[in-house]
Amino acid sequence: MLLAAALAGGCGSSPPAPPPETAAPPPQATPAPPSEGISNLQAGASDSTEAIPGSPDAQFRYRFTQTLPGSDRFTFQDRDLSFYFKPAPAALYLQVENRQARPVWIEWDRSTFYDPRGNSGRVAHATTRWVDRFNVPPPTQIVGLQRYSDYLLPLDYLVDPAGSAEQLHRPLLPEDATAPQYSEREFGVDLVFRIEDRPRAYSFRFKVASVIPR
């Protein structure tokens, strides 16, 4: 009888409780992508004479440094060419002087733009339009002892202008609430010139030194 009672008591007991479940860690938030709304699109890229370039109604201002070749005046020169750059939120402005008496050519199809988002691709400049994005761009000649001015941006930043002849594009850097995400970002261009029928590459890099609320 004692054995039967013990067996009955064992059959009626509750099974041991399972161990408590471990809570899964909460997912980590990812940074918001930069704003690319229609209000941020630009037609062309007019130069600015202000010390700190940017739109008059910009929420933020940028300060830049030239890291390659290092220069506090955004310049570089050798025996053939003299360069002056002006980085801006809209585009990268460029002036090249041919220091010799024979012509040189900018080979756009061999040149590369490195954007602030870490991408690289073909270069667009002032005369590039949406319809040109699959064409081989013609070289630009700079005659002897003359200067050439232009602005540069990634070809992928061009936007369909819906039948218009204007150059519609995303800005190189935003000036809205997403601007602080671009602090310390680098961008630049590899420009290939044809000098005395030989290609020569010039590499330039720039850095966002600070993003300042306006």
Is residue 92 pLDDT above 50, yes or no?
yes
Which residues fall within 8 angstroms of residue 24, CB to CB, at 6 or more apart?
A: none
Condensed to tens digits (0 to 9), the pLDDT of residues 36-52 reads 455 578 888 866 656 67
Q: What is the CA radius of gyration of the chain?
A: 29
The whole-number pLDDT of residue 171 equals 96
The answer regarding whether domain 54-213 maps to CATH 1.10.1060 reads no
Please determine, for residue 7, whether its predicted confidence score (pLDDT) is greater than 80.
no
pTM for this model (two decimals): 0.81
Q: What average pLDDT score do residues 17-25 get?
A: 49
Question: Tokens 């130069």 map to which residue?
Answer: 47
Q: What is the mean pLDDT of residues 120-148?
A: 97
Q: Output the CA–CA distances (angstroms, integers) from residue 162 to 95, 129, 134, 155, 167, in the order listed.
A: 31, 12, 17, 17, 11
Residue 5: predicted pLDDT: 41
pLDDT of residue 34 exceeding 70: no
pLDDT reading at 196 higher than 90: yes
Sign of CA dihedral 64, 66, 67, 73: negative
As a whole number of angstroms, the distance between CA 93 and CA 47 comes to: 7
Q: Residue 40's pLDDT is what?
A: 78
On the question of pLDDT at 144 being above 70, the answer is yes
**DSSP classification of residue 30:** -
Closest CA to 178 of 40, 35, 18, 64: 35
Q: Is the pLDDT of residue 13 over 50?
A: no
pLDDT band at 59 (very low <50, low <70, confident <90, very high): very high
- Greater model confidence, 173 or 21: 173
Tell me the domain boundaries of the chain. Answer: 54-213
Q: Is the per-residue pLDDT at 58 higher than 80? A: yes
Residue 55, pLDDT score: 87
What tokens were used for 12?
């009626």
Q: How far apart are CA 29 and CA 209, in angstroms?
A: 26
Q: Mean pLDDT in the chain?
A: 86
Mean pLDDT of 57-78: 97
Residue 41 pLDDT: 86
**Residue 113 contacts by C-beta under 8 Å, 6 or more apart in sequence?**
120, 121, 122, 123, 124, 152, 153, 154, 155, 187, 188, 189
The residues pairing with 84 across neighbouring beta strands, listed in sequence order, are 75, 95
Judged against a pLDDT cut of 60, whether residue 83 lies above it is answered with yes
